[in-house]
Amino acid sequence: MTIGLVKLELYIPGSRSLKEKRRVLKSLIERTRDRYNVAVAEMENNDLWARATVAVVTVGNETQHVNSVLNKVVAQFDGHPEAEVISVTMEML
């Protein structure tokens, strides 16, 4: 069994309030959960308007599959027009 974790630090340049930040994050998080069947949670920078840290976790039998799913998740976040990925940290346990 492999547990995969990816931590994404995001910059949301168009955000002028926490409400705008939550709108962007909610959209990204729901789409990611629905599409890839992973657990997603905002972890840090809760009080900052333009910054967010999101953790994504998945479990699988094969490391290759877990890695593939997490790479697709990173690509989805990276391709979102309202958020920029600042850093990515990936771990396999």
Global pTM? Answer: 0.88
* Arithmetic mean of pLDDT over the chain: 91
Query: Scanning the structure block, which residue is given the tokens 């979102």?
Result: 80
Q: How many domains does the chain have?
A: 1
What pLDDT is stored for residue 81 in this prediction? Answer: 85
How many of the other CB atoms lie within 10 Å of CB of 52?
A: 25
What pLDDT is stored for residue 15 in this prediction? Answer: 82
Q: What does the pLDDT average to over 77-89?
A: 91
E strand residue ranges, the chain = 2-11, 39-44, 51-60, 84-92
What pLDDT is stored for residue 77 in this prediction? Answer: 92
What pLDDT is stored for residue 63 in this prediction? Answer: 92
What pLDDT is stored for residue 46 in this prediction? Answer: 76
CATH number at residue 34: 3.30.70.1120
Per-residue pLDDT of 11-55, as tens digits, reads: 998 888 888 888 999 999 999 999 999 999 999 877 788 899 999
77: containing domain: 2-92
